[in-house]
């Protein structure tokens, strides 16, 4: 099984999720450092839709660029902000043939393995 993780190596939750993936027999892991190689707006929207969450659920509200967003910002505005400032993307997002999960907590990734 192939698993793609949208990863930030400085994030402990992302590292824990990666360790789960790498420790699961039969899982081939593709690691994408999303800060260096961010997903497109369309790809990000697709990942959230497949995970069953809204862009608002995947936004890191504590980051400085997010503080400039109105609290009632819609999905389009949030996605635009995430594409402009990938640090706003909550991590890690993991995609397999069984679905997509925002792996917070890291054990949530097991749902799609």
* Catalytic site includes residue 60: no
Number of H helices, E strands in the chain: 4, 4
Catalytic residue among 2, 5, 8, 11: 11
DSSP string, 15-69: HHHHHHHHTSTTPEEEEEETTTSPPPHHHHHHHHHHHT--GGGGB-TTSHHHHTS
Structure tokens at 78: 């949030």
Which residues form the catalytic set?
11
């Amino acid at each position: 099984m192939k698993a793609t993780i949208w990863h930030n190596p400085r994030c402990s939750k992302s590292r824990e999720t990666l360790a789960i993936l790498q420790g699961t027999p039969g899982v081939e892991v593709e690691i994408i450092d999303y800060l260096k190689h961010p997903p497109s707006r369309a790809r990000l929207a697709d990942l959230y839709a497949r995970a069953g969450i809204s862009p608002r659920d995947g936004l890191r509200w504590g980051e400085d660029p997010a503080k400039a967003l109105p609290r009632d910002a819609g999905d389009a505005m949030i996605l635009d902000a995430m594409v402009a400032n990938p640090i706003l993307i909550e991590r890690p997002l993991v995609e397999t043939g069984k679905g997509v999960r925002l792996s917070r907590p890291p054990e949530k990734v097991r749902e799609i393995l």
